[in-house]
């Protein structure tokens, strides 16, 4: 929890704001954490519904309606201008979970709305360790190891280093090249509209 409260917002709020269909759009943010991206979106005038399965995370979210739920089981019976599936959740190692995450996106996006997905780009794990200084200049994040444990599935370690603290996380990801990503979207009833960043990390999809 403390780690997440320390992480500064990166370029995510700007990417979302540029890709939203209109100012003040309704946004369904899936896996919002402590509101690192939620809060800048609220400040920009978007109406955010923030979903997370962790009550401790949700307690930190301000200015947005919060919903305690797994993403897979979410069924609000509402449609949103923007459904946001960020934090590389689409790269989950579990194919069933991936299908369920994308199904939730389709279930909640308005007919003229957009689904915004943040995914691992090509070559994400080509150079390890890969280190990144955070936008606030205080912390560093590094992918310190990454091993392909079966074709397409990786076991990774990420370290967050601050002057007074250090966190290590282990996570698995499934590589999704552009064609496989677009196929996964199609299977979920979505179609790629555009890649929003040159590295193809951010994508906008529409209901097909
Ligand atoms: C890495 S954190 C990122 C949080 C936030 N998106 C950000 O960028 O700061 C991922 C968050 O998604 C939540 N999460 C992951 N998988 C989930 C799922 N299947 N259903 C609901 N929440 C999930 C976790 O509880 C966690 O708060």
Ligand 1 pocket residue status of 54, Cβ below 6 Å = yes
pLDDT of 97 > 80? The answer is yes
Range of the domain at 161: 130-174
Whether 48 and 91 map to the same domain: the answer is yes
Whether 161 and 80 map to the same domain: the answer is no
Whether 148 and 202 map to the same domain: the answer is no
Whether 44 and 90 map to the same domain: the answer is yes
| Per-residue model confidence (pLDDT) at position 185 | 98
Which of 64, 73, 87, 135 is the pocket-test mutation for ligand 1 (most atoms within 8 Å of CB)? 87
pTM above 0.75, yes or no: yes
Whether 52 and 142 map to the same domain: the answer is no
pLDDT average, residue stretch 142-163: 95
Whether 147 and 202 map to the same domain: the answer is no
Whether 66 and 79 map to the same domain: the answer is yes
| Per-residue model confidence (pLDDT) at position 46 | 98
Which of 7, 14, 15, 52 is the pocket-test mutation for ligand 1 (most atoms within 8 Å of CB)? 52
Q: Strand 80-85 to strand 109-118: parallel, antiparallel, or no bridges (unpaired)?
A: parallel
| Per-residue model confidence (pLDDT) at position 154 | 96
pLDDT band, very low/low/confident/very high, at 13 (cuts 50, 70, 90): very high
pLDDT of 156 > 80? The answer is yes
- The strand ranges marked E within the chain are 26-30, 47-52, 65-68, 80-85, 109-118, 130-133, 140-150, 153-162, 165-174, 190-195, 202-207
Q: How far apart are CA 167 and CA 182, in angstroms?
A: 34
Whether 103 and 201 map to the same domain: the answer is yes
| Per-residue model confidence (pLDDT) at position 1 | 83
Whether 202 and 166 map to the same domain: the answer is no
């Amino acid at each position: 929890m403390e780690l997440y409260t320390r992480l500064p917002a990166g370029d995510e709020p700007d990417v979302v704001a540029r890709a939203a269909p209109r100012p003040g759009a309704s946004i369904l943010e899936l896996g919002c954490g402590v509101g690192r991206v939620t809060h800048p979106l609220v400040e920009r005038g978007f109406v955010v519904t923030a979903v997370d399965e962790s009550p401790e995370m949700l307690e930190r979210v301000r200015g947005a309606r919060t919903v305690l739920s797994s993403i897979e089981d979410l069924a609000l019976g509402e449609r949103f201008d923007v459904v946001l599936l960020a934090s590389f959740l689409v790269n989950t190692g579990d194919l069933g979970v991936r299908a369920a995450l994308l199904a939730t996106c389709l279930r909640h996006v308005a007919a003229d709305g957009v689904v915004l997905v943040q995914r691992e780009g090509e070559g994400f794990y080509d150079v390890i360790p890969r280190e990144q200084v955070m936008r606030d200049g205080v912390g560093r994040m590094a992918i310190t190891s990454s091993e392909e444990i079966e074709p397409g599935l990786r076991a990774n370690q990420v370290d967050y280093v601050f002057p007074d603290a250090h966190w290590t996380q282990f996570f698995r990801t499934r590589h999704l090249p552009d064609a496989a990503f677009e196929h996964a979207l199609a299977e979920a009833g979505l179609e790629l509209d555009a890649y929003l960043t040159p590295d193809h990390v951010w994508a906008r999809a529409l209901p097909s």
